[in-house]
Structure 1
């Protein structure tokens, strides 16, 4: 009996399959996922993962929900809009497989209650950064300011993960560069611990 099979008998199959799925997504993308392959990797019968996830969409839904929970946690202690953006970029680089799945809703069940709750928690944390702007900083529509801030963070993270910023960054720390970029969009937001 392999270690993975023993883990299954101790109730760790769900996490073992999620971990194996993250490895596959990071290496080959979500389209490479197969419950049969993940069962083989976990050392269990091909039907065992279906017990926890039912099907591929169920597995991807669980990964998306987990990703949104991780994002909410990452944003939880953010000190202002710039720090929230840096934390968003850091989350993407530390959890690239989650990041890929979370923003492809055609892969999972968008009406899943756990997913909806996790997405709402992450959204609340993102909106908190916008709420912290001084009057007038977000322009006439703070919701559009939120879309602008999210677009900047998400676009930067996506370009970073797809290796499209290697030349423009010229070896500089991506988080430092992103922090500077937020100053272009939100120039008057106070920097944590001092003036902008």
Structure 2
């Protein structure tokens, strides 16, 4: 008599997220499926439903991982200036375009159904606010400025990813836009201190 052993993957949830990220890079969010992720890791077709109720839940897990990575990049950018934050943000977005798109809009149905994703967006903005809090941005509320900064950086990153702005000019465009946004000479002093 042959006894069939139960399949045990180890950390299936993590493996499925990694598999989904690979597919996301290759084919975009529409190419990601639970069945495809399962096939990539070699688990049973029923196994992913212990971790994710549907494709959106899997994509949310990937997006949450992306937010955590972006927050880490922003916290660790070192120089602690608006310019350093901008460079770090644009660098992350351009280095991970499919993940970036997923984090901020593409591919997930009802984003409001995932409060953890809403919280991740809020936390990313809070990290930006923390990054600009100590800057001398006369007359600017750090929280409000962080939202404005995020809008600028997101818009620029999206324009570069979509091919409307040359990647090589993205940083210069961000610096010009920030200088205009904050008031020229004031932001120039912030960039150099």
Local SS of the residue matching 1:53: coil
Q: Return closer, same or farther for 1:191/1:132 CA change in 2, 3 Å cut-off.
A: same
1:130–1:36 Cα change, 3 Å:
same
- State the TM-score, normalizing by the size of structure 1: 0.76
**2: distance between equivalents of 1:43 and 1:24?**
15
How many angstroms does 1:80 deviate by?
A: 1.9
RMSD: 2.7
- Report the Cα distance in structure 2 between the residues aligned to 1:112 and 1:20, rounded to whole angstroms: 21
Matched-pair contact (CA < 8 Å) for 1:58–1:109: no
**CA–CA distance in 2 between the matches of 1:121 and 1:131?**
15
Unaligned runs of 5+ in 2: 1-6
- Counterpart mapping for 1:43-122 below 5 A: 43-78=42-77, 79-104=80-105, 106-107=108-109, 109-110=111-112, 112=114, 114-122=116-124
Distance of aligned partners of 1:52 and 1:109 in 2 relative to their CA distance in 1, 3 Å threshold = farther
State which of 122, 127, 130 in structure 1 corresponds to 2:129: 127
Q: Normalised by the size of structure 2, how large is the TM-score?
A: 0.77
**8 Å CA contact 1:36, 1:47 repeated in 2:** no
Confirm or deny: 8 A CA contact 1:61 1:115 kept in the other structure: yes
Number of residues of Structure 1 aligned to a counterpart in Structure 2: 181
Give, in whole Å, the separation in 2 of the partners of 1:89 and 1:135: 21
Deviations 1:119-171 (A, max 9, x none): 34322111123423425353xx65553333111100111111222223xx5xx
Q: CA–CA distance in 1 between the matches of 2:169 and 2:138?
A: 31
Residues 135 and 28 of structure 1, relative CA distance in 2, 3 Å threshold: closer
- Give the Cα–Cα distance (whole angstroms) in 2 for the partners of residues 131 and 41 of structure 1: 44
SS at match of 2:136: coil
Residue pairs, 1:132-147, within 5 angstroms: 132-134=134-136, 136-138=138-140, 143-147=143-147
Moved more, 19-28 or 8-17: 8-17
How far apart, in 2, do the equivalents of 1:14 and 1:108 lie? 22
Asked whether the equivalents of residues 73 and 88 of structure 2 are also in contact (C-alpha less than 8 Å), the reply is yes
What is the match of residue 4 of structure 2? none
Report how far residue 180 of structure 1 moved: 4.3
Cα distance in 2 for partners of 1:38, 1:135 equals 46
Q: Unaligned 5+ residue runs, structure 1? A: 1-7
